[in-house]
């Protein structure tokens, strides 16, 4: 009898030792069950990046270099996988590819201005973009890396603050006296079709405003005053004269006059989008 009792104790202890290798897992309904170590998949331990970059980010650091004051930017369009931005002197655009937490940038096409003061920073930024292969997003910060080395850190602008503080105005007039003006905010779009008529104001839809803001994020406000008109027909054959300005955070940024329908490349997509939205207002 003592032998059988001792055998029972030994079997019980062996069973308890085996059970101690199990781990506790919480079920969706709150219950607890034992899960063996062999049931835990290696894939369960892999953390993937669930959020992709979207919208405009302003670059704060190129490695250890603080570049906040230069307004360098990256704008990601998730729908088309296109990227655009400002690199210190020129604007650039191209494509990008994301798979989990890896990212790569295709060939970037840039304008060809030369800026002595910021040329080194621009070369550094574009060089880093060609090397970057990983990304992560922490709150509103975008971190771009080559392997484990952080090359670029950028901060996303608060969308609500930006939306509430932007007014875009496009106007055109002819030598014969015709006049048109379009004003767009995140809430309204207003149109004046002659100098003596009243403004017609309609709500601006969320989808229209999002289109505007995606393009707005890719322009560099401080450069607007330096943009050159690509054509000069308004000076000699009576073409309508166009003006475009941005009021952002109470500061007005004016583009020099240009031929209506033919703005500089830097603002062409934004101006065309404004004209398209206004054309649908009755």
Q: What is 118-131 written as a DSSP string? A: THHHHHHHHHHHHH
d(CA 75, CA 85): 6
CA 51 and chain centroid, separation? 13
CA separation for the pair 126, 250 (Å, rounded): 32
CA distance linking residue 223 with residue 228, whole number of Å: 10
Of the two residues 31 and 104, the one the predictor is more confident about is 104
Cα within 13 Å of Cα(253), Cβ side: 18
What pLDDT digit, counting tens, does each position of 52-108 carry?
898 889 899 999 999 888 888 899 998 899 999 989 888 899 999 999 899 999 999
160 or 62: whose pLDDT is higher?
A: 62
Q: Answer with the residue of higher pLDDT: 22 or 262.
A: 262
In this structure, CATH architecture of domain 55-157 = Beta Barrel (2.40)
Of 77, 128, 92, 123, nearest to 220 (Cα)?
A: 92
pLDDT at 46 over 50: no
Burial category of 270 from C-beta neighbours within 10 Å (exposed 0-12, middle 13-18, buried 19 and up): buried
Query: What are the helix and strand counts (H, E) for the chain?
Result: 5, 18
Contact 218, 84 (CB under 8 A): yes
Percent of all residues in the chain with a pLDDT value above 90, rounded to a whole number = 45
How much is the pTM? 0.53
Could you give phi then psi for residue 205, rounded to 5 degrees? -70, 155
Region 164-187 average pLDDT: 90
- According to CATH, where is 3.30.1560 located in the chain? 160-279
Residue 204 has pLDDT above 80, yes or no: yes
Percentage of the chain exceeding pLDDT 70? 79
Grouping H, G, I as helix, E, B as strand and the rest as coil, residue 25 is strand
Burial class (CB in 10 A: 0-12, 13-18, 19+), 258: buried
CATH among 4.10.640, 2.60.40, 3.30.1560, 3.30.160 for 160-279:
3.30.1560
Banded model confidence at residue 37, pLDDT cuts 50, 70, 90? very low
C-beta separation of 272 from 180 below 8 A: no
Q: Which SS3 state, helix, strand or coil, does residue 17 take?
A: helix
């Amino acid at each position: 009898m003592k032998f059988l009792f001792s055998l029972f104790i030994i079997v019980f202890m062996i069973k308890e030792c085996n059970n101690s290798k199990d781990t506790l897992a919480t079920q969706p309904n709150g219950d607890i069950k034992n899960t063996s170590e062999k049931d835990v998949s290696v894939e369960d331990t892999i953390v993937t990046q669930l959020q992709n970059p979207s919208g405009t980010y302003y670059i704060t650091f190129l490695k250890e270099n603080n570049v906040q004051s230069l307004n360098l930017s990256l704008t990601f369009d998730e729908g088309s996988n296109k990227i655009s931005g400002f690199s210190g002197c020129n604007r650039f655009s191209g494509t990008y590819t994301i798979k989990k937490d890896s990212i790569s940038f295709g060939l970037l096409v840039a304008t060809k201005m030369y800026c002595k003061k910021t040329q080194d920073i621009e070369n550094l930024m574009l060089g880093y973009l060609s090397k970057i292969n990983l990304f992560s997003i922490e709150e509103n910060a975008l971190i771009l890396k080559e392997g484990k080395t952080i090359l670029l850190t950028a901060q996303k602008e608060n969308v609500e603050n930006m939306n509430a503080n932007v007014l875009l105005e496009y106007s055109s007039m002819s030598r014969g006296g015709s006049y048109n003006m379009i004003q767009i905010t995140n809430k309204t779009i207003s149109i004046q079709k002659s100098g003596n008529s009243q403004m017609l104001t309609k709500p601006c839809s969320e989808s229209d405003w999002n289109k505007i803001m995606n393009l707005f994020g890719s322009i560099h406000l401080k450069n607007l005053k330096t943009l050159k008109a690509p054509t000069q027909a308004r000076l000699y054959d009576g073409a309508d004269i166009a003006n475009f300005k941005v009021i952002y955070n109470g500061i007005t940024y004016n583009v020099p006059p240009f031929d209506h329908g033919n703005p500089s490349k830097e603002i062409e997509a934004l101006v065309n989008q404004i004209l398209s939205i206004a054309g649908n207002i009755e």
